Amino acid sequence: MDSVKNMLALAVSGALGGAVTADEVLSVIEVPADTKNGDLAMPCFRFSRVLRKAPPVIAAELKAAIDGSLAEVKEINAVDGYLNFFLSPSFYVDVLKRIAADEGFGSSDIGKGKTVCLDFSSPNIAKRFHVGHLGTTAIGGFLKNLHDFCGFTTVGINHLGDWGTQFGKLIVAFKKWSSPERVDERGISELVDIYVRFSAEAEKDPSLNDEARAAFTEMERGNEEYLAIWRGFKEISLREYMKTYELLGVTFDSYNGESFYNDKMDAVVDELRDKGLLVIDDGASIVRLDDYNMPPAIILKKDGSTLYATRDIAAAIWRKNNYDFYKCIYVTSAGQSLHFAQYFKVLELMGYDWAADMVHVPYGTMSVNGEKLASRTGNVILLDDLFAEAIAKVEKIMEEKNSDLADRRAVAEAVGVGAIVFNALANNRIKDSNFVWEEALSFDGNTGPYVQYTYARTASILRKAEPDGAGYDGYVPEKDETALVTTLAAFPAKVLSALADYEPCIIARYALDVCAAYNVFYHNRTILKAEGEAKAFRLALTGAVKHVLGKCLDLLGMKRTEEI
């Protein structure tokens, strides 16, 4: 569709003698909401001042100048200041042929030779994976898939939260109220319980927080007893997390967490000091950011302990040196936006021009039926529990819809997990979302199951098809068929738009658009019982839908469902 828009823009600009550029014309060509007004339309109002003519006059003159001169256009109408273009049947046939013949349709090589680091998921060890972790994991996985699809070399980084004062708290709690035997028996549940207990006890006895800070300082100084306990916590946590990542189909190239940068932070502190950026304020070492309307970035606490900013600066420098990234993308909650703005600015002040290549991709919070999450109080909705319940609910629905389905459990897992992932990605990422079972698991609404069911429908038709060898060069598509071709043709542009905005909902909503257009076509037209060119065209169209929807599912991190 982009090619015909460019062709129309050049034709209109030429007819106007160059008084309006082709790019200016292209910017106003649109797909009308009502197909009765053409396949494409161009409002002439923006050009009225330049041409010193009324829009209806401009439209009428343009129709007279170019009507009949373009093979791709069957008819042009001038109505109320609009120039409406009705494209020829052969145009849609040719577009479908190009889509059907292109295995890589929608992909690009825009990222060839460029490396993108994606820092996402990054849970704090010794805590269970809960719904609050889903946003960063699902969005980050999508962005990694999207950059791969566009030709980038991607490095998925799970920057584990495995360092900081919270581990001082855990060590104090472990030594006071737990044992190696209890941790071996209960795993991460024991770590969560003693952390919650520490928080409750510290409210009654604040001196516990002093003990925790002292314990963490000992860790930073190399206390082997404490480090051995900490390493055990990390091993237990990773075993738990890998189950969730496997269910989501998310992979990482690096699990270098905060602790990996322990021996790299002194160099950062020295560099900040040597460049005159580090100042002492009430005993802490900070970089002032007053000139940029931000509070100071704290590099060292009073006791000499490091903070997130110190470790993130060290990590950024290490990643640039090791990966020479084109971009380094961080997917975290919107609540961390100030932190990223601060430390990106510190990198800039240090003289690193590549600080401009650091990108923070924020997202809103997710809740289930309005339930707020807080690991400190133990008030969490565990992601594994959410997945298990979704799978069970979908399996029950499928028993009613298709009791003979082979491998029903695997399909229920794909659809149940996919429903949760789609729900997390379908709305603008910066907005808060609320997961509601009845909405997310519906096979009829704007949901993941609806997309997977439509994909399964195309797969079923193609399995049953018996092509008769006919071509479709001379076929004249119906309106619902041309609308579907137009929707499919938009896929490459949607991919690039999602890439530019780091926005998964563009692909999620596009997948819904494809499903809606296909299901209108499916209910209006016979496919398997059609004959000749009609059958050939409709099977090719169904195959193209299957291909595009499959790619959308891949990008969103959802499994393809050949049967439901």
* pTM of this structure: 0.89
Q: Which of 38, 68, 87 is the last residue of a domain?
A: 87
The answer as to whether 73 is a domain residue is: yes
Q: What is the CATH number of the domain that holds 443?
A: 1.10.730.10
Please say which residue of 87, 108, 142 terminates a domain: 87
- 175 exposure class (CB count in 10 Å sphere: 0-12, 13-18, 19+): middle
**Residue 371 has what pLDDT?**
60
- 57: domain CATH number is 3.30.1360.70
**Do residues 265 and 306 lie in contact, with contact meaning Cβ atoms separated by under 8 Å?**
yes
Residue at 512 is within a domain:
yes
Q: What is the pLDDT of residue 380?
A: 67
Residue 43 within any structural domain of the chain: yes
Which residues make beta-bridge pairs with 332? 362
Task: Look at residue 549 in the predicted model and tell me its pLDDT.
Answer: 98
Q: Which long-range contacts (CB under 8 A, 24 or more apart) does 170-177 make?
A: 170/126, 170/194, 170/195, 170/198, 170/230, 170/233, 171/212, 171/215, 171/216, 171/219, 171/226, 171/229, 171/230, 172/198, 172/208, 172/211, 172/212, 172/215, 173/197, 173/198, 174/229
Task: Look at residues 55, 70, 87 and tell me which one is the last residue of a structural domain.
Answer: 87
In order along its 564 residues, the chain shows pLDDT tens digits of 677 888 899 999 999 988 889 899 999 999 888 878 888 999 999 999 999 999 999 999 999 999 888 888 999 999 999 999 999 999 999 999 999 999 999 999 999 999 999 999 999 999 888 888 899 999 999 999 999 999 999 999 999 999 888 999 999 999 999 999 999 999 999 999 999 999 999 999 999 999 999 999 899 889 999 999 999 999 999 998 999 999 999 999 999 999 999 899 999 999 999 999 999 999 999 999 999 999 999 999 887 877 889 999 999 999 999 999 999 999 999 999 999 999 999 999 999 999 999 999 999 987 776 665 554 444 567 888 889 999 999 998 888 877 778 888 899 999 999 999 999 999 999 998 877 877 888 888 899 999 999 999 999 999 999 878 889 999 999 999 999 999 999 999 999 999 999 999 999 999 999 999 999 999 999 999 999 999 999 999 999 999 999 999 999 999 999 998
Q: What pLDDT was estimated at residue 377? A: 46
Q: Which residues contact 435 (CB under 8 A, 6 or more apart)?
A: 131, 366, 367, 368, 369, 386, 420, 423
CB contact at 8 A, 167 and 126: yes
Decide: helix, strand or coil at residue 254. Answer: strand
What is the CA angle 363-364-367, rounded to 5? 135
Q: Which of 384, 368, 314, 376 is nearest to 343 (CA)?
A: 314
Residue 388 lies in a domain: no
pLDDT in tens, 339-381: 999 999 999 999 999 999 999 999 998 777 666 555 444 456 7
Q: Write out the residue range of the structural domain in which residue 537 sits.
A: 401-556
What crossing angle do the helices spanning 479-489 and 532-556 adopt, rounded to 10°? 30
496 is a domain residue: yes
pLDDT of 397 reads: 86
Longest dimension (CA), the chain: 88
Q: Please provide the size of the chain in residues.
A: 564
Contacts of 494 (CB under 8 A, 6+ apart): 506, 507, 510
Q: What is the pLDDT of residue 59?
A: 95
Number of independent structural domains in the chain? 2
Instruction: Give domain status of residue 431, yes or no.
Output: yes
Over residues 49-82, the pLDDT tens digits come to 999 999 999 999 999 999 888 888 999 999 999 9
| 543 inside domain | yes
Residue 118: strand pairing partners: 156, 329
> Contact at 8 Å (CB) between 340 and 346?
no
Helix ranges, 206-223 (H):
207-220
Residue 134 lies in a domain: no
